[in-house]
């Protein structure tokens, strides 16, 4: 055992093997010969960090971003619906992505649902005092929001709330609750939440109330919870 002209018994071989291991040599032999005089290939330089577009600093810049190709649900098949209302409104309405009818009307809530929402606001003394927006400005026909899209929409929605600075926030429907609060509507209802420091309550979308008038009593309780002063 050993190299040419060098005889090693079993004890010497074991001693040499222990020395190799203590020296940091993991294996005594390898299938491919190694050139010990060859310099190691230097590691590849680290990639330059990707520079993301700056977060919009104003509400006007944000709404333009939201409706543009950077928006969370933007696609070639989608159209945009811009939010409406003033900064610092009494309440911000954040509803589900627009339907085809709402896209046609250009309003975050369209048709009979819009009229019902106005009556609901009038009942709590906030008629004409709402900032009205969708969870996202886009709708892809036939598409259902994935977890990834919900997360992106939720991040955008929280930024939207921070820039719009409403006194209260009303989440309308299941998708806004999942995106912003991380829970479905049925779990979010009946509780006061905080989103960007704003008092937040969840309730049914007016479209749902038109389909199930029996839920109007529950929605009324949600509106009363929204208007209560924080303790």
Domains of the chain: 79-227 (3.40.470.10)
Instruction: Place 9 in a pLDDT band, splitting at 50, 70 and 90.
Output: low
Give the DSSP per-residue string, 82-123. --BS-TT-SEEEEEPSP-HHHHHHTSSS-HHHHHHHHHHHHH
pLDDT of residue 38: 57
Window from 41-50, 107-116, 128-137, 190-199 with minimum mean pLDDT = 41-50
The share of the chain scoring above pLDDT 70, in percent, equals 68
Window from 79-83, 155-159, 163-167, 225-229 with minimum mean pLDDT = 79-83
Average pLDDT, the chain: 80
User: Of 175, 184, 166, nearest to 83 (Cα)?
Assistant: 166
pLDDT of residue 211: 95
Q: Is the pLDDT of residue 155 over 50?
A: yes
pTM here is: 0.73
Q: Is the pLDDT of residue 12 over 70?
A: no
pLDDT of residue 139: 64
Question: What are the residues whose beta carbons fall under 8 Å from the beta carbon of 90, sequence distance 6 or more?
Answer: 126, 129, 130, 166, 167, 168
Which one of 10-14, 124-128, 136-140, 142-146 scores highest in mean pLDDT? 124-128
Q: Is the CB of residue 104 less than 8 Å from the CB of residue 141?
A: no
Instruction: Place 19 in a pLDDT band, splitting at 50, 70 and 90.
Output: very low
Q: Is the pLDDT of residue 205 over 90?
A: yes
Q: Is the pLDDT of residue 154 over 80?
A: yes
């Amino acid at each position: 055992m050993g190299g040419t002209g060098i005889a090693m018994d079993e004890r010497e071989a074991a001693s040499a093997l222990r020395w190799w291991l203590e020296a940091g040599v993991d294996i005594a032999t390898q299938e491919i010969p190694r050139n010990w005089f060859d310099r190691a290939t230097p590691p590849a330089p680290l990639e330059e960090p990707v520079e993301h577009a700056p977060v919009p600093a104003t509400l006007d810049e944000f709404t333009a971003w939201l409706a543009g190709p950077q928006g969370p649900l933007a696609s070639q098949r989608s159209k945009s619906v811009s939010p409406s209302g003033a900064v610092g409104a009494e309440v911000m309405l954040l509803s589900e992505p627009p339907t085809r009818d709402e896209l046609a009307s250009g309003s975050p809530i369209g048709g009979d649902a819009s009229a019902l929402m106005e009556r609901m606001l009038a009942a709590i003394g906030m008629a004409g005092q709402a900032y009205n927006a969708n969870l996202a400005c886009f709708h892809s026909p036939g598409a259902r929001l994935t977890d990834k899209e919900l997360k992106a929409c939720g991040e955008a929605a929280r930024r939207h709330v921070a820039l719009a600075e409403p006194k209260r926030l009303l989440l309308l429907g299941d998708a806004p609750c999942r995106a912003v609060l991380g829970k479905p509507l049925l779990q979010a209802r009946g509780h006061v939440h905080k989103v960007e420091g704003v008092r937040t309550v969840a309730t049914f979308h007016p479209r749902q109330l038109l389909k199930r008038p029996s839920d109007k009593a529950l929605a009324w309780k949600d509106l009363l919870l929204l208007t209560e002063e924080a303790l």
